[in-house]
Amino acid sequence: MKPPVVLEHIKPAHIECTKDDIANLVVMPGDPLRAKYIAEKFLEDAKLVSRARNMFVYTGTYHGKRVSVMGSGMGMPSMSIYAFELFYFFGVEKIIRVGTCGGLIKELNVPDIILATQSYTEANFAYSYNGDPTHFAKPSKELNEAICEVAKKQNKKLHLGTVMCTEQFDFYSDNEHVLARVPSDTNIIGEEMESFALFHIASSFQKSAACLLTVVDSKYQERFMSIAEREQSLDEMITLALEAIIL
């Protein structure tokens, strides 16, 4: 499986900086303002290196290792643009998505953390991207193992499993019929909108990608994560991603 062929004269259309401005390790929230928050709170000497389309990219150091933080936007199309450009034009080696999701099993509570071991989508993203008819995409085994190793050291509980990557926000759609079509041997534990594109593109470049998700709501609970809970829980996930990506 290979990435699409890009014309030699083409330059990145959505990230505006030099190749040297971006580290080969990237932590990627969906929200560009969350990227700003991560850079300012967790990185040393963080510098804004691109703000094209207000999708902020910051580069600094974490425990002496050079790391960039960039927003991906919402949905597979937006993620695919930035993941492709980071891998293809900027030589990025590892991306860890840090996002939020809805819980789809009773065992998950707000604000548990999921580590995606697989992403399933009903969409034809893979076929459109490079002719691959698959609806499943996997993260990097080595990067997931690094995340699990750090979680164990930090005494953080992770829920490992398959997530569904949708084309629309779950609250604004009727997705029960979609869940009913999932292969019977696949247990979906959470729902989000970007992981499949990230995993598939990373695999096409033979690069590493992983996805950590904080559960902010659940189909089994009439509860949404409060602002205070969200800040604390997302910080735990962010720290986990940063510690793992520099291993």
The arithmetic mean of pLDDT across residues 173-182, rounded, is 80
Residues belonging to the active site: 217
Rounded to an integer, what distance in angstroms lies between the CA atom of residue 66 and that of residue 168? 34
223, β-bridge pairs: none
Give the other-Cβ count within 10 Å of 1's Cβ. 13
Do 108 and 215 contact (CB within 8 A), yes or no? yes
Tens digits of residue pLDDT in 225-239: 777 776 667 999 999
Confidence at residue 232, expressed as pLDDT on a 0 to 100 scale: 65
What's the chain's average pLDDT? 94
Rounded to an integer, what distance in angstroms lies between the CA atom of residue 53 and that of residue 35? 14
**In the chain, what is the greatest distance between 2 CA atoms, to the nearest angstrom?**
52
Name the residue ranges covered by the structural domains of the chain. 19-245
pLDDT at residue 40 greater than cutoff 70: yes
Rounded to an integer, what distance in angstroms lies between the CA atom of residue 224 and that of residue 55? 27
Exposed/middle/buried for residue 177 (C-beta within 10 Å: 0-12, 13-18, 19+): exposed
The arithmetic mean of pLDDT across residues 18-42, rounded, is 96
Confidence at residue 231, expressed as pLDDT on a 0 to 100 scale: 65
The region of weakest confidence among 14-23, 167-176, 180-189 is 167-176
Give me the amino acid identity at 177: H
Confidence at residue 137, expressed as pLDDT on a 0 to 100 scale: 98
The arithmetic mean of pLDDT across residues 182-193, rounded, is 93
Rounded to an integer, what distance in angstroms lies between the CA atom of residue 126 and that of residue 107? 31
Confidence at residue 121, expressed as pLDDT on a 0 to 100 scale: 97
Tens digits of residue pLDDT in 196-226: 999 999 999 999 999 999 999 888 887 777 7
Structural class in CATH, domain 19-245: alpha beta
Tens digits of residue pLDDT in 93-119: 999 999 999 999 999 998 899 999 999
Which one, of 101, 196, 96, lies nearest residue 148 by Cα? 96
Q: What is the pTM of this model?
A: 0.95
Question: Quick one: CA dihedral 156, 87, 13, 134, positive or negative?
Answer: negative
125 secondary structure, DSSP code: H
